[in-house]
Structure 1
Amino acid sequence: MGKKGQLVKSVGIEGVEVPSKVCDDQNCPYHGSLRVRGLILDGILIKFRAMRAGVVEREYLYYNTKYKRYERRRSRIHVHIPPCLDVKEGDKVIIGESRPIAKSVSFVVLGKSR
């Protein structure tokens, strides 16, 4: 139970701590009704300008079979950021897939990565 008798649920992913702040966001995986399912990724929060939304950039290696070597690639993922999390631009975060929240937002920030 959180503050004011509000239920705080665990997301069920190891390495992610439940936030100490309380929010009233329906799209929060801890205090709202949003379920996390599917992919769990990590990346760097590079933009946090919109209200409760941001952009996470992740780097990964892709094997090029023609040249038989790896190349570094990056992708940008639009995420929902609950107000109970204290994250800012430049933080390494863990994100989880959820149902579509907006046209391009299908991931939610779960917390800071270590």
Structure 2
Amino acid sequence: MGKKGQAAKSVGIEGIELPSKLCDDQNCPFHGSLRVRGLILDGILTKFRATRTGVVEREYLYYNTKYKRYERRKSKIHVHIPACLDVKEGDKVIIGETRPIAKSVSFVVLGKSR
């Protein structure tokens, strides 16, 4: 469980820097008991208005077999944002899949992307 003043632990993914701030969020992969498993994606944080919850929009290519070409598609993913991370709307972020935190939230922000 996350305790105040506890040092940040690694999430086991290369390229993810540990946050300098501390937090007492139980759903923080660095200071709490939340495990990151499954997909690792990146996208742009488009909304950060709810408490510790935001929306990441990611763009990807889909191959359309009928027309034999790629088309650009977008998807919106609801994410949990730990208090120890300094991210704001418009930032490019890396997100990781976790157990379900809420009805529509199964991803957590791991940090800013370069």
Under a length normalisation based on structure 2, what TM-score does the superposition of the two structures give?
Answer: 0.95
Question: What runs of 5+ residues in structure 2 fail to find an aligned partner?
Answer: none
1:6 matched residue in structure 2: 6
Which residue identity is paired with 1:97? E
1:26 matched residue in structure 2: 26
1:76 matched residue in structure 2: 76
Question: What runs of 5+ residues in structure 1 fail to find an aligned partner?
Answer: none
In terms of mean alpha carbon deviation, does 21-30 or 8-17 score higher?
8-17
Distance 1:12 1:99 in 2: 16
**Once superposed, what is the RMSD of the aligned Cα atoms?**
0.9
**Identity of paired residues, percent?**
88
Moved over 6 A (4+): none
SS at match of 2:46: strand
Structure 2 CA distance for partners of 1:64 and 1:112, relative to 1, 3 Å: same
Which residue identity is paired with 2:67? Y
Under a length normalisation based on structure 1, what TM-score does the superposition of the two structures give?
Answer: 0.95
SS at match of 1:111: strand
Distance 2:90 2:51 in 1: 17
- Shift of residue 15 of structure 1? 1.1
Distance 1:42 1:113 in 2: 8
**Residue-pair matches, total:** 111
